[in-house]
């Protein structure tokens, strides 16, 4: 028999307030929890072994077999399923048209020490990346190119923000995520094999056909400043994409993808 479920119908309910607070970074950090929304994304998470601690559903929703599976998984895992109104769900997710379901997850371990560099031949690295959409897009691209994860250097957007989770299209659950200061990253990197490659304009060679080697760490910098010069100079390789027009740079997530796919092809032994 299905357990009785908590129904919440009041905007001022403390649980609603606590869930809604997870849209703000300080409350996420205090709670060690983050929000993910949408049946597809939550199903991807479940299939990767991440079942939410709390699942919030709209009370007037269309039935869906994947939703039933998800509800059962949450309850089997000792989590709570809460039903509420579509209006309250919209308030929690901050989205006009919420995808009828949201989940609360414990944040992952993001210490660099938890990264096993040998588990993948490509890693993405972002320095001072400020846009959560770019961050989520890099996670999504990392999943596509078979990267092991994303290493965030210095002050980046929060990978557990609703916007980053959404843009990742589920890759927040498949990619390792680490956060570190530059000097911490550099000393970790040099402790073992690893080629650090920057998308750069300084003293750079063409990105196409570059001498990439696994494990290859592909690094892009801040959206407006790019990488600090000393970070670039500490790289094993600086490469540049052709810029045929007036602009002198690409969107950071685009640069990571163009370079990441090039490294993927090189490591797979595609002819240059």
Q: Which residues here bind a copy of itself, judged by CB under 8 A?
A: 44, 47-48, 133, 137, 140-146, 167, 169-171, 174, 208-209, 241-247, 249-251, 253-254, 257-258, 261, 264-265, 268, 270-272
Q: Which one, 52 or 132, has the nearer CB to a copy of itself?
A: 132
**Exposure string (b/e) for 231-262, b if CB count within 10 Å is 16 or more?**
bbebbebbbbbeeeeeeebbebbbbbbebbeb
Contact assessment for residue 217 and residue 188, using Cβ atoms and an 8 Å cutoff: no
Q: How far is the CB of 19 from a copy of itself (least distance, A)?
A: 25
Residues 6+ apart with CB under 8 A from 244: none
Q: Are strands 237-240 and 195-199 parallel, antiparallel or unpaired?
A: parallel
| DSSP-derived secondary structure letter, 271 | -
Strand ranges inside the chain, DSSP E: 6-8, 33-37, 54-58, 80-84, 101-106, 122-127, 149-153, 176-180, 195-199, 205-206, 216-220, 237-240
CB closer to a copy of itself out of 168 and 179: 168
Q: Give the DSSP H/E element, type plus range, for residue 93.
A: helix 86-93
Q: Nearest to residue 221, comparing CAs of 205, 202, 206, 207? A: 202
Supply the minimum distance, in Å, between the C-beta of residue 172 and a copy of itself.
11
Nearest residue (CB) to a copy of itself, 12 versus 270: 270
Closest-CA residue to 50 (of 150, 159, 142, 175): 175
Q: Which is nearer to a copy of itself, 91 or 264 (CB)?
A: 264
93 versus 141: smaller Cβ distance to a copy of itself: 141
- The two tokens of residue 90 are 């919209």
Q: Which CB atom, from 48 or from 113, has the smaller least distance to a copy of itself?
A: 48
In the complex with a copy of itself, the residue whose CB is nearer, 3 or 242, is 242
DSSP secondary structure string for all residues of 26-48: HHHHHHTEEEEE-HHHHHHHHHT
Q: Which two tokens stand for residue 162?
A: 């609703």
Residues in the chain: 272
> Least separation, in Å, of the C-beta of 149 and a copy of itself?
11
């Amino acid at each position: 028999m299905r357990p009785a479920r908590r129904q919440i119908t009041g905007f001022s309910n403390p649980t609603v307030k606590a869930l809604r607070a997870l849209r703000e970074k300080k409350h996420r950090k205090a709670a060690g929890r983050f929000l993910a929304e949408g049946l597809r994304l939550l199903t991807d998470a479940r299939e990767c072994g991440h079942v939410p601690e709390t699942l919030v559903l709209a009370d007037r929703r269309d039935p869906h077999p994947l939703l039933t599976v998800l509800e059962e998984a949450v309850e089997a895992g000792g989590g709570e399923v809460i039903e509420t109104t579509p209006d309250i769900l919209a308030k929690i997710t901050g989205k006009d048209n919420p995808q009828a379901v949201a989940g609360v997850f414990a944040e992952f371990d993001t210490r660099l020490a938890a990264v096993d560099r040998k588990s993948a031949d490509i890693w993405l690295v972002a320095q001072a990346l400020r846009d959560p959409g770019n961050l989520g897009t890099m996670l999504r691209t990392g999943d596509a190119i078979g990267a092991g994860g994303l290493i965030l250097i210095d002050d980046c957007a929060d990978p557990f923000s609703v916007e980053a989770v959404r843009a990742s299209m589920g890759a927040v659950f498949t990619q390792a995520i680490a956060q570190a200061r530059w000097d911490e990253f550099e000393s970790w990197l040099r402790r073992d094999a690893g080629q650090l490659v920057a998308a750069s304009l300084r003293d750079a060679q063409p990105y196409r056909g570059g001498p990439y080697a696994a494990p290859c760490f592909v690094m892009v910098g801040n959206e407006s400043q790019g990488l600090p010069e000393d970070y670039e100079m500490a790289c094993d390789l600086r490469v540049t994409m052709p810029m045929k027009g007036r602009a002198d740079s690409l969107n950071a997530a685009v640069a990571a993808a163009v370079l990441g796919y090039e490294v993927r092809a090189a490591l797979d032994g595609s002819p240059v």
